[in-house]
Amino acid sequence: QVQLVESGGGLVQPGGSLTLSCAATGDISSIDSMNWFRRPPGKARELVASFENGGRTIITDSVKGRFAISRDGAKTMVYLHMNNLKPEDTAVYFCNAAVLGAGGWFDDQWGQGTQVTVSS
């Protein structure tokens, strides 16, 4: 089993920076990719960034050039580095992991979410 806990959210002014952290515990070896999603107010959840097991990162176009994802070598922490934040970045941000189960199927594990509010 894998458990994910996000932290680092809060209130930030437009143009500011914030780094979110996700701590993974449990069967770390079962984790394939680790990802960040967000749910803006009144909108559906959307993928923000992915860190694939082979090290490739994917950043969604709307935040490319401003956001970056990183993961430590032990795969116990994943980070979302956010720069030049805009009001439209306001959302609940969720950490996600694609976990390989015993049957060879991937399951999604989710953190509880952390609120990021960008406002002056």
- Residues 63-102: pLDDT tens digits? 999 999 999 877 799 999 999 999 999 999 999 999 998 8
Q: How far apart are the C-alpha atoms of 23 and 39, rounded to whole Å?
A: 20
Using 50, 70 and 90 to split pLDDT, how confident is the model at 103? confident
Q: What is the mean pLDDT of the chain?
A: 95
List, as one string, the DSSP characters of 36-105.
EEEE-TTS--EEEEEE-TTS-EEE-GGGBTTEEEEE-TTSSEEEEEE-S--GGG-EEEEEEEEEE-TTS-
- Residues 37-72: pLDDT tens digits? 999 999 999 999 999 988 899 999 999 999 999 998
